[in-house]
Amino acid sequence: MNQRKNSGGATAAPVRRQGTAKRAATAGSASERRDHLVKLAAELFARKGFQATTVRQIADEAGILSGSLYHHFDSKETIVDEVLRTFLEDLTARYRAVLETAGDARTALTEMVRIGFGTLEPHRAAITVMQNDWNYLRSLPGDRFGYLVKAEDEVERMWVEQIKRGQAEGLFRADLDPKLTYRMIRDTIWVAVRWFRPGGRLNTTALAEHYITVLFDGLATGDRTSHGA
């Protein structure tokens, strides 16, 4: 009797494991499908603009019916929300990690420039949407995209603090406005998404290193104080 009971228990276990495996596979498949839809929609938003992109167009791109898309998302705003949040959370997390470990301000800014350029490929669509549709998304009712301004303010604060620290340490020129300097750096990085092409002559690492050289070593040669207006 004990032998039969033990045998029965051993036979039942694989059935439970098989059921668990099927559920895990289904969940994984659904998650992968959702990620695929987000990626397709992000590319459409970047190419056509968020306002001009319809749910039907997203569904057509994915090869599904419009109604099927609503099994994953309740609106296209939910999709773009996921695209932008993923980008901003990744960006700010990387910046925070650098600031926790970087030594002086120049080292911190150097790494932050590398991080910024490094986002041009994995987050190309999100950066494009933020540039093209920022004002529209901010105008939507309910302050759904209010976090965009909060994230922008946090990023600006990180950069400006490092520029001011570098000035206090004597590493950066004291006569330059920290906020204006940051905004010029920011725009140089993000606007590059319009002309940078993955697989071209330069990758994002090379772009970052070139810009770091220009930023810290300048374009002119010799003593800048010797050049008049």
- Whether 229 has a pLDDT exceeding 90, the answer reads no
- Taking 90 as the threshold, does the pLDDT of residue 60 lie above it? yes
Residue 24, pLDDT above cutoff 50: no
Q: How far is the C-alpha of 152 from the C-alpha of 144, rounded, in Å?
A: 15
Cα–Cα distances in angstroms (integers) from residue 218 to residues 160, 184, 207, 213, 221, in the given order: 20, 14, 15, 7, 8
122-135 pLDDT per residue, tens: 999 999 999 999 99
Residue 47 has pLDDT above 90, yes or no: yes
Cα distances from 167 to residues 42, 145, 162, in angstroms, run 39, 34, 9
Q: Assign domain 76-217 to a CATH class.
A: mainly alpha
Per-residue pLDDT, 30: 75
Residue 197: CB partners within 8 Å, gap ≥ 6? none
Q: Domain ranges in the chain?
A: 30-69, 76-217
User: With contact defined as beta carbons under 8 Å apart, do 80 and 45 qualify?
Assistant: yes
Instruction: Over range 9-24, report the average pLDDT.
Output: 48
Q: Hey, CA dihedral for 72, 73, 78, 83, is it positive or negative?
A: positive
Q: In this model, does residue 185 exceed pLDDT 90?
A: yes
- Of the CATH numbers 1.10.10.10, 1.10.10.60, 3.90.1150.10, 1.20.1440.230, which one belongs to the domain with range 30-69? 1.10.10.60
